Structure 1
C-alpha cells in the first residue's frame, strides 16, 4: 500500500464526476498542488450508473449557465485532454400538454437565447419532423434544444481525471477519508494510507456526503432516492432511422407525464420520475451501508407500470421492444433539488460540491464554480441557487426526506410564482400563526417560517390548482388587490416572523462596520440601509443597520440570508477583536403596520413619540408591552415596523387589530408587500440585488461614500466609475398581457437584446404592470421605448424616471 503524507493546497473527498471536475478546474487555473481521495474506484457512486443525459434546460438562470458551460466543455474535452469519449449531441424534444407548459418553454427559450443558445418552441405539427415516431394528437407543442444529448459518465470522469493528472494534480483511489481535524490554520485528513494536510477541503462525496459532513460536525440537508431506468432491445425502425439520418433520435422528455425516453444504441432507455417514489437509507432498519460502491438496489418495476404504459402510448415502437435491463440506483436530493456548491456553513476553509441530482450535466459547470469559490472566495455567476447556506438549522432529516421525495415526484413540474409546495411545512410558526390563519391566511415558507402570502375571502378557491398558473388571475389576485388598496387608503398589518438579526457591539464596532459597507453607519437613534460589496464591487447583500448606541447595532436582513450574511460578518472580523457578533434571529419578531391611518391606530395604544421622523427608531410600549418602534415601511406608506420579543408578538398584534378595526385596518401578506415595494422601486435580495451586478449598475451610488478612506470593493467601484457603467438599473412600466414579467425576462430594443428584468409584478395602487431590470446604459433615459419578452411574446415597455412610481417625492412615507 502506497503511503500518502505531506501537504496539498486542496483535498477533495469523492471521485465522482463532480469531484474530478473540481480537481480538473483547480489544476487548469494553476492550482496543481491538489489531491483527490476516493474510497473505491473513480465513478463508484452515482456516476457509474448515471444515464448520462446532458440537458441545458433549467428555469434557473444560474443553473442554466452551469449546464450550458458543461456542454461547451464536453464538446471539446476529448481533444483537449487526448482521451476518447462517447458524447452524442442529439438535441432533445420536451413535450408539452398544456398552454401553461408552453409558456414555460417560451420563458426558458428566451433565457437560453440570452445565453447564446438557440432553443426553439415547436408547434404540435412540427414535432414529428424531429421525432417521427411520436403520437402528437394531445400535445400543445414542444421545446427543441439542439445542444442536448448524452455522454458516457465513466469516460467523462476519466477524461477529466487524465486532464487533471497531466497538469500535476494527484488522485488516490481506494483511499477513503476516515477523519478530519483542524490544526491551526490547516486541515488534517486521515486515511488508511496516512495523513495529509491541506489549506482547503471539499466534500464531493455524492450520496455519501452526509456521512462525510458528520466529520465536520455538519448535518447535511439531503436524502437519497431510488431512481430506475430501463434499457430495451434493438428496434429495427430505430436502427433504420439512424442509418438514414447518420445519428441518434433526439432525447424525448414527456415532462407532464414525468419521464425521459432516449435512444440507446438502436433500442431505448426509459427513465421515469414516478410520484409513488421511494427513499432509501432513511430509517434505523434501513441504514446506509458503509460501502455501496458499484452496487444497485433490487428492481422495483411495479411502481413504474403507469409510466411504461404512457410511454408506449406516446411512442408505440417502444411497445415492440423487449426489456433487457433495469438500473435502480441511489441518487441524492436536497430539499429543493439543487446541488450544494459553495462554503460549508460555519466551517472555515471547507467547501461542498455534492448532492447532485443531475451531476453529469452539471458536473462541468460545478467544477468551474467550485474552483472559483476556493481560489477567489466568489464566483462569476451569482450561485445562491446552489449555495449550501440557503438551508439553515430547521432543515432536519425529516424535512430533507419529505422535500426530497416531493421534488423527485415532481421533477419536471412547473414552479408557478404563486403556488406553495405543501411538503415539509410548519417548521417555524409565529406566535400569532393561529390568529392569522383564522383570518384566512394562505401561507408560504420563508427560511422555514410560515408567513401569510395572501388572505382568502369567504368563497375564494384556495386549492393548489387555483395557483398553478403564470397568469394574473384567480382569487389570490383580487384578494391581493384589496390588501394593497387597504394599505393605500387606511392601513394594513403584516405579521413578519423570521427576519435575520445580528447584534453587533463592542469598542470600534462603528468603525469596523464602515469598512464593510459602502456608505456610513447611522447615528444612534437612526436606521439606514447598508450595502456590502465584494472585492469586485458587486452586491453581496443589503442589511438595515439600527444604531442603538455609538458602538451598538442591530443588523436586520432577509430571512433566507441568515447564514449567508452572518458568515460574511464573522469572516471579516479581525482576529482578536473585542467586537461581538451575536445571532439573535430566534429571539425577536416583527409586525409591519403601514398606511395613512397607522399613526391614528398607534396613538391610543403606545407611549411612543409618533412625530419622530422617517428612518428613526425608539424603545416604546405598545399595549403595555416593550417594543422597538422603527419608522420605516417597505410598502412605501406612513408606517412602522414593530419589533418585539417573540413571546410578546400576540398582545401587540391583538392591540393593533382592535385599535385598527374601526379605521379600516386589514391584514396583508407577502404578495401584497411585493406589489407595494415594486411601485417604490425597492430592491429584493437575490433578484434585484445579487453578485451578478455591481452597486453602480444597481443604481445604488447614493449609498456609496467615496470620501471614505477604504471599504471592500472601493477600488473596483472607482475604476468602474472612471471607465463608465455599461448597464444600469431601471424601472419600467409594461403594457403586459395577462402575465407580468418574471425574473430574467429579456429586454429588447430595435431587434437587439439589451438587458433583463430582475423582478416584476402588478402595481395595484397605480394599476399597471411593473418590471425592474438591468439595461444597457445608453438606453436608460426616461421615456425610452423597449420591449419585454414575457413567455415568448414581446410587450411594449417604457423606462421611467429615477424616482418611485408611487409617491415619487416620498411625501406619504414622511407624513
Structure 2
C-alpha cells in the first residue's frame, strides 16, 4: 500500500501520475522508482498492455541516425538483459542479433553508411556476403541479395512479459498501479498541471506524464496540449512451427521488399510496411477498445505476402495461426515523442512510437523519468523532443496526411537531403510564386516552404536522390559562387522571430543570454542561451530595438523549442514578456561583396562601413517600405538581413533585384547557405551544437561574457569547465578526393584510434573540398598541439580515407583557398 494519502484505497495525492499502462508508461514508472521517487501512481484505463503493447511484434533494433537516440535504444537492451533476473518474471528477451538485407547497389551503400554510423555510435555492425547472411537465416532465399549487415546485440522480446516485469519492478520500488481507471480531466493552475480527475476520484500531483499510447492525443486535449500522432493499421502474420527454423534465428529486415521477420516458438512472425497504409480511428478510438484487434485485411496484406513468399519459400506450406491487424500510433516524421509539453508546465509526454515502442520502451522510459526528475532532458533528445512540432501539427488532417507518408517511407531508402512530398505549401512566403516561377525547388521545414535551390532555365526543379552528387550539385555551386563573387538574395521569411518587451527586458535577457546583450539600441549580438550545465539550448541573434524591447531571431525549425525555452527561463517577478512575431515580418538576406552597392541603390541610404558597421541595425526605406536592416552574416561575406512587414515582401524583393541586376544578383537557396557556412565554420544548432555541447567545446567561448562579473544561466558550469582541460572540441576536417561524399556521422580516427564522428558535412565549392565538422574526444584532454599533431582519417561507408584537421575557418573573404 502506498505511503501517501488515500481514500478508500485510492491515492488522492502523488508526486507524479503516469497515464497509460503500456511498456512506456511502466518503464517510466520503473525508472522513477529507481530514481527514488516513491509517491508515483500509474493509471491504466483498462489492464496493463491492453492498448497496443500486447500485440506488438517485439523486434528490438538499436541503430538510429542520432547518437543519443541510439544510446537510448542501447539502454533498452541493457535493461532487458537484466530485467528477468531482477524481477523473476520471464521477458522473452533474446539477443539473437539483427540482420538487414540489401538487394541493390543503392541499398548496399545505405547499409555500408549505416555500418559506419553504428561504429561512430559504439555499436558493432558487420557487413556480410549473401552466403553469410543465409547461413544466419537458413529459411530465406538470397538469389537477389547483394549484401547484408548484422548487428549482434539486437534482439527480440515478448512485449507483454517485458511490461509486466517492469510493472513488478515499479511496484517493488513503491509505485502504485491502478487498473480500470480512466482519466477524464487534467487539472491545471497558473500554466501548470496540478492533478488528474478519474471516475474513482481525483489525485493532486506535481507532475503528470502522458504515456497513453494511441489515446495520448485525446489525453493531451484534456489540457490543451497537442500530441500529433495518428493510429494506423499494421498487420503481421504468425505461423505454426516450421521445420528448419532455429530458435536463435536473428530478427530479419528486408527493406527493399518492405518486410521483416522473427522466430517465435519454432515458427515465424512476418510482416511489413505497406506503401499504401490505412489510417484508423479517424473519428476517435472506439469505446471499449481493449485487448482488441481489427478485422484481418488479407487483400491489403496480399502484396506483402508476395514479398514474403519470395524471400521465405517455407511460408508456402506453413500453417497459419493468425493474421494480426493491430493499430499503432505513428507520427508525422517517424520519430517518437518525449518531453515536457510547451503548452503546459509539469505535463510530460511519452508517445507515438511508430511500431518500435518495444525497442524504445526501456530507454525512453529511463530518459523520460530522468527528464521528469531533473527538470530537463538527461541528454540532447532533439530528434524526439515534443518541441520540434509547430502550428501545422495542430491540424489533424495535416498530421494524418504526413503520417501516412512517413509510414510508407518506413523501409524506403533513406536518401540524403530527402524531402517528404505530402501536406506541402501550408506556410509560404509572399514570394513563393515569384520564386517558383524562377525555378525554385522548395523544401519544407515546420510547415514552411523554403527554396532549397534554383534550377537553371530548361532544368526541372526537382530533386533526384542518390548517394553520389545529386542533380542540384552544379546549380547550388553557381549560387554559392554568386554569393562569394557578386551578390545573392535568400528568402528567409520562415525565420522564427520573437519580441521580448517590458521594463525588465534587459535584466531578463542578461540572465538568459551567455553573451553581453546589454547594448545600446541599434546594436545586435550573436549569442547562445545555455542550460544550467552550460549546454547550448538556443543559438540566436538578438537585436536591441529600444530600452524595453529586444528582437530575437532563430531558425525556422526551432520556433516552438526556443520560444518555450526563453519564456520559461525568464526569472520570476520580472516585467518581461515574450511575443511570437514570426508571421509579421518577411526576411530577405542580401549577401556578397556587391551587397553594399545593391542595397545603397535600392534604398538611397549610406551602407558604407563607416556609416553602417558590422553588428548594428538601421531603419531604411526600400520601395516605400520601412525596413530593419541588420548587418550580419551566416555565409562569411559582407551582407545584411532585411526585416520588414510581410505584406510588402513583393515590392521590396523586386526593388532589391532591380538594384542588384547591374551587380549580377542571383537567387540562392538553403543548400547554398549550407555550403557557404561550412566553409566559414559557422555552427548549426541541432547538429554541431546543442544541449550536450558547451560554447567552450564548440569554439564559441569568444561569444560568452565570462570575463564580466555578470551572472547568467550556465555561468557556474562554464567557469568550472574552464578550470580543467576540455575533453572534446569541435574541429573541421577536409577530404580532397571529390569522389568522396561526406554526409555527417562519418567516424573520425586519430592515429588509428576512434575519437568521434562528424556532426555535419558537405561540399565547399570555393575551397573545392569535402568539409565536415565533428567533436574530437580524449579523456586526457584535447589541447591544440595534440589536435594538430595527429594523423586523421574518416570512415566513409566502412572505408577509411585520409583527412586533414582544421581549427580555423577554411575561408575568409580575403582568400579563396584552404587555410593552413
In which range does the TM-score fall when normalised by the shorter chain? Answer: over 0.9
How do 1:601-750 and structure 2 match up within 5 A? Answer: 601-611=598-608, 612-706=612-706, 707-736=708-737, 738-750=739-751
**8 Å contact kept, 1:620–1:627:** yes
| Cα offset, 1:6, TM superposition | 2.6
> Which of these residues, 150, 174, 189, is aligned with residue 168 of structure 1?
174
**8 Å contact kept, 2:496–2:556:** yes
1:527 paired to 2:528: no
1:802 paired to 2:808: yes
Q: Where in structure 2 are there 5+ consecutive unaligned residues?
A: 1-6
Deviates more, 1:670-679 or 1:400-409: 400-409
Corresponding residue for residue 764 of structure 2: 763
Q: Quick one: distance in 1 between partners of 2:572 and 2:510?
A: 18
| Cα displacement string for residues 463-503 of structure 1 (whole angstroms, at most 9, x for unaligned residues) | 55x1x2122242x0010001111111211111112111111
Secondary structure of 2:187 counterpart: strand
**8 Å contact kept, 1:73–1:364:** yes
1:546 paired to 2:543: yes
Q: Quick one: distance in 2 between partners of 1:369 and 1:730?
A: 29
**8 Å contact kept, 1:783–1:798:** no
| Cα displacement string for residues 518-555 of structure 1 (whole angstroms, at most 9, x for unaligned residues) | 22003321111111111111111111000112332101
Corresponding residue for residue 390 of structure 1: 388
1:290 paired to 2:297: no
**8 Å contact kept, 1:37–1:175:** yes
> 1:222 and 1:388, CA in 2 relative to 1: closer, same or farther beyond 3 A?
same
| Cα offset, 1:177, TM superposition | 0.9
1:477 paired to 2:465: no
**8 Å contact kept, 2:751–2:790:** no
Secondary structure of 1:648 counterpart: helix
| Cα offset, 1:738, TM superposition | 3.1
**8 Å contact kept, 2:522–2:545:** yes
> Which of these residues, 587, 591, 607, is aligned with residue 590 of structure 1?
587
Q: Where in structure 1 are there 5+ consecutive unaligned residues?
A: none
**8 Å contact kept, 1:494–1:669:** yes
How do 1:235-250 and structure 2 match up within 5 A? Answer: 235-238=242-245, 242=246, 247-250=247-250
Corresponding residue for residue 508 of structure 1: 504
Q: Quick one: distance in 2 between partners of 1:592 and 1:14?
A: 48
Deviates more, 1:573-582 or 1:620-629: 573-582
**8 Å contact kept, 1:783–1:800:** no
Corresponding residue for residue 328 of structure 2: 331
**8 Å contact kept, 2:454–2:476:** yes
Q: Quick one: distance in 1 between partners of 2:149 and 2:816?
A: 46
**8 Å contact kept, 2:371–2:378:** no
Q: Quick one: distance in 2 between partners of 1:537 and 1:157?
A: 36
> 1:473 and 1:581, CA in 2 relative to 1: closer, same or farther beyond 3 A?
closer
Corresponding residue for residue 410 of structure 1: 409
Deviates more, 1:567-576 or 1:383-392: 567-576
Number of residue-to-residue matches in the alignment: 798
> 1:393 and 1:784, CA in 2 relative to 1: closer, same or farther beyond 3 A?
same
| Cα offset, 1:217, TM superposition | 1.2
Corresponding residue for residue 102 of structure 1: 108
How do 1:12-161 and structure 2 match up within 5 A? Answer: 12-161=18-167
Secondary structure of 2:115 counterpart: helix
Corresponding residue for residue 365 of structure 2: 367
| Cα offset, 1:212, TM superposition | 0.3
**8 Å contact kept, 1:97–1:138:** yes
How do 1:178-577 and structure 2 match up within 5 A? Answer: 178-183=184-189, 187-238=194-245, 242=246, 247-282=247-282, 284=283, 287-357=284-354, 358-395=356-393, 396-460=395-459, 462-464=461-463, 466=464, 468-474=465-471, 476-521=472-517, 522-577=519-574
| Cα offset, 1:717, TM superposition | 1.2
Secondary structure of 1:604 counterpart: helix
**8 Å contact kept, 2:17–2:41:** yes
**8 Å contact kept, 1:472–1:739:** no
| Cα offset, 1:183, TM superposition | 4.2
Q: Quick one: distance in 2 between partners of 1:757 and 1:693?
A: 14
> Which of these residues, 549, 557, 581, is aligned with residue 578 of structure 2?
581
| Cα offset, 1:591, TM superposition | 0.7
> 1:808 and 1:90, CA in 2 relative to 1: closer, same or farther beyond 3 A?
farther
> 1:783 and 1:763, CA in 2 relative to 1: closer, same or farther beyond 3 A?
farther
Secondary structure of 1:236 counterpart: coil
Corresponding residue for residue 3 of structure 2: none
Q: Quick one: distance in 1 between partners of 2:134 and 2:330?
A: 35
**8 Å contact kept, 1:740–1:770:** no
| Cα offset, 1:146, TM superposition | 0.9
**8 Å contact kept, 2:193–2:347:** no
> 1:222 and 1:237, CA in 2 relative to 1: closer, same or farther beyond 3 A?
same
Q: Quick one: distance in 2 between partners of 1:138 and 1:120?
A: 20
Q: Quick one: distance in 1 between partners of 2:503 and 2:364?
A: 42
Q: Quick one: distance in 2 between partners of 1:189 and 1:136?
A: 55
| Cα displacement string for residues 764-789 of structure 1 (whole angstroms, at most 9, x for unaligned residues) | 11111111111131476447431111
CA RMSD of aligned residues (A): 1.8
| Cα offset, 1:378, TM superposition | 2.2
Q: Quick one: distance in 2 between partners of 1:621 and 1:248?
A: 73
**8 Å contact kept, 1:110–1:746:** yes
| Cα offset, 1:763, TM superposition | 0.6
Secondary structure of 2:718 counterpart: helix
> 1:810 and 1:291, CA in 2 relative to 1: closer, same or farther beyond 3 A?
farther
Q: Quick one: distance in 2 between partners of 1:788 and 1:299?
A: 49
Secondary structure of 2:774 counterpart: strand
